[in-house]
Amino acid sequence: MKLVTHRYGKSRVRLMKVLREGEAHAIKELTARVLLEGDFDRSYTHADNAQVVATDTMKNTLYVLAHEHLGAENEPFAQQIARHFLDRHRHVSHVTVELEERVWTRLPPQQPYGFIHSEVMRPFTRLRASRHTQEHESGVRDVILLKSTASGFEGFHRDELTTLPETRERILASAVRATWMWASEPASYRAAQRTILEAMVVPFVERYSPSVQATLWEMATAALEACPEIARITLTMPNLHCLPVDLTKFGRTNKHEIFVPTDEPHGDIEATVSR
């Protein structure tokens, strides 16, 4: 028998840090995952744990590194975690770090230490690093976008099982997931994320959408044009359907006003666009 691949680590490590700048505070809440690859074969094949870094140790390491290094941006913290394990353990060849943030904002904006979690959007970053190479991605999950007009779907393939009517007037809604690959380090990761999101919103809102596919292409292209530090971007856009209600049985005409929002089942559109 041959052990083909293996990796292990600690997942769902939750931590929160209060960033204090004078009287004003900021909250960082992260859910972290760290995976190690390297010379761990004998722990599988010979029950030899001599090389195994305990996952509880990995959890404690995250807390200590957060205390010492976690700031406003997640990407440098991910890099610090990877460097720690690669520098400390010579038998580790690759480290994968995933960080997902829960966003807290001040309540109200001028209040220095009260916060509200009102944003569904979840920023994340994923780093896989060795001593000589790294692949670093960042992105956001659950960016919920909706426009109440300027969207349609026509000219699609039809067969004997097709019942969907064509339309030039519908609600377009999606819980967008965007993942981009860094080609170079920006001056500010947070500012770059903001630039990417603002660029993607423009074609979504301002242009007529003939399909989710066409709108996805325009959003991805806008992101690449706006942020030269990213090499490619992957967008996943589940189509959150808003189905018009038939009111004719009640003697009324529904002029694109009353809908039933539903996300099950939904269309799922995904593409990767690079330079």
What is the Cα gyration radius of the chain?
23
- φ, ψ at 109 (rounded to 5°): -55, -35
DSSP per residue, 207-249? S-BS-HHHHHHHHHHHHHHH-TTEEEEEEEEEEEEEEEP--GG
* CB atoms inside a 10 Å sphere around CB 53: 21
- Tell the residue number behind the tokens 């292209």, with chain if given: 221
Catalytic residue chosen out of the listed positions 25, 31, 55, 69: 55
Active site residue 10: yes
3-state secondary structure string across 14-25: EEEEEEEECCEE
Beta-carbon contacts of 237 under 8 Å, excluding residues fewer than 6 positions away, are: 174, 176, 177, 212, 215, 216, 268, 269, 270
Residue 204 · residue 214 · CB < 8 Å: no
Catalytic (active site) residue 162: no
Tell me whether residue 255 is one of the annotated catalytic residues: no
Q: Alpha helices, DSSP H only, in the chain?
A: 41-45, 55-69, 74-88, 189-206, 212-226
DSSP element (H, E) containing 121 = none
Evaluated on CA atoms 42, 48, 49, 51, the torsion sign reads negative
Cβ-based neighbour number of residue 145 at 10 Å:
17
Residues acting as catalytic residues = 10, 55, 241
